[in-house]
Amino acid sequence: QSPARLYRPGSDAVTLRDVAGLDEVKAELQEVVDFLREPQRYAELGARIPRGILLSGPPGTGKTLLARAVAGEAGVPFFSASGSDFVELYAGTGAARVRALFARARQSAPCILFIDEIDALARQRGVSPGGGAEEREQTVNQLLVEMDGFESAEGVILIAATNRPDILDPAILRPGRFDRQLTVEPPDRKGREQILEVHARSRPLSPDVQLADVARLTPGFTGADLANLLNEAALLAVREGLREIGWRQIALALERVASGGPPRRIRYA
């Protein structure tokens, strides 16, 4: 059985327009979108698209969102699994799950296969806590076998994410495997403003709210934190019976976030 969740392309698909900033990463991923849309153009010129793309960066910076946007933009199915779905299982089950995951993805090609927390699955030998080293090795080996055994021409593009690229088994980074590695940085002030703009699209703001000011007040916030902040402010506005989010709600939400230590993370699908 494969642990992946499947999202079919639909009208509610996330696109690259929903990902603010990160222009270089988006430009690289646009190439994957183009390939999925018109594979024959690449085949004619003998241009090979990377089989695997690794996105590295701190939590909440938009790695999952980027992978979903590639699938949404290309109109292909999106399979999502987590590296932790493949560990601490009975002997042999991790490897069997990897096999099942790839088999399922191949049947749905062209598609995006996304593995979050790839470090849980493909950790460098010796860094793993506890036992089960042999089992873990089998699981990583199966991942390598699967990656070596498929051509991107088959239309399965593997995207993986990690916040710990330093602990990855170097074998998965060899050419022909994750041969494109992209770093997803936390946003700077301009990036924060752009992220706020994306999340304000569906939220009416009163004219006293300038997103540039919010961006200035939120150094260190990730995209996930900013989405959370606007949501908290929106909840406050509802509670107060307002029709728009005002500066007061933003300020209160900021205070709440600041006093509660690091902002609480809410996942937005």
Of 63 and 177, nearer to ligand ATP (C-beta) is 63
Angle, vertex CA 66, rays to CA 152 and CA 73, nearest 5: 70
Of 223 and 246, nearer to ligand ATP (C-beta) is 223
Question: Under a CB-based contact definition with an 8 Å cutoff, are residues 55 and 25 in contact?
Answer: yes
Q: Is 219 annotated as a binding residue?
A: no
Of 67 and 95, nearer to ligand ATP (C-beta) is 67
State in angstroms the smallest separation of the CB of 134 from ligand ATP. 28
State in angstroms the smallest separation of the CB of 18 from ligand ATP. 6
Q: Is 162 annotated as a binding residue?
A: no
How do strand 52-56 and strand 78-82 relate by DSSP bridges?
unpaired
In this structure, what DSSP letter does residue 168 have? B
Of 50 and 223, nearer to ligand ATP (C-beta) is 223
State in angstroms the smallest separation of the CB of 184 from ligand ATP. 6
Whether the bond into 77 is cis, omega within 30 of 0: no
State in angstroms the smallest separation of the CB of 239 from ligand ATP. 22
Q: In the chain, which residue ranges form alpha helices assigned H by DSSP?
A: 23-37, 39-45, 63-74, 93-107, 118-121, 133-148, 189-200, 211-216, 223-239, 247-259
Q: Is 57 annotated as a binding residue?
A: yes
State in angstroms the smallest separation of the CB of 22 from ligand ATP. 5
Q: Is 190 annotated as a binding residue?
A: no
Q: Applying CB under 6 A, which residues contact ligand ATP?
A: 19-22, 59-65, 116, 161, 163, 195, 198, 223-224, 227, 268
Q: Is 131 annotated as a binding residue?
A: no
Q: Is 15 annotated as a binding residue?
A: no
CA–CA separation, 208 and 183 (whole Å)? 35
Q: Is 187 annotated as a binding residue?
A: no
Of 143 and 226, nearer to ligand ATP (C-beta) is 226
Of 80 and 139, nearer to ligand ATP (C-beta) is 80
Measured from each CB, the residue nearest to ligand ATP is 223
Closest CA relative to residue 84, chosen from 123, 28, 42, 40: 123
State in angstroms the smallest separation of the CB of 48 from ligand ATP. 27
Instruction: Return the SS3 of 187.
Output: coil
As given in the structure block, the two tokens for residue 120 are: 């849980």
Q: How far is CA 229 from CA 139, 253, 255, 258, 267, in A?
A: 39, 6, 10, 10, 12
In this structure, what DSSP letter does residue 172 have? G
Question: Which residues are annotated as part of the binding site for ATP?
Answer: 57-64
Cite the annotated binding site by residue number: 57-64
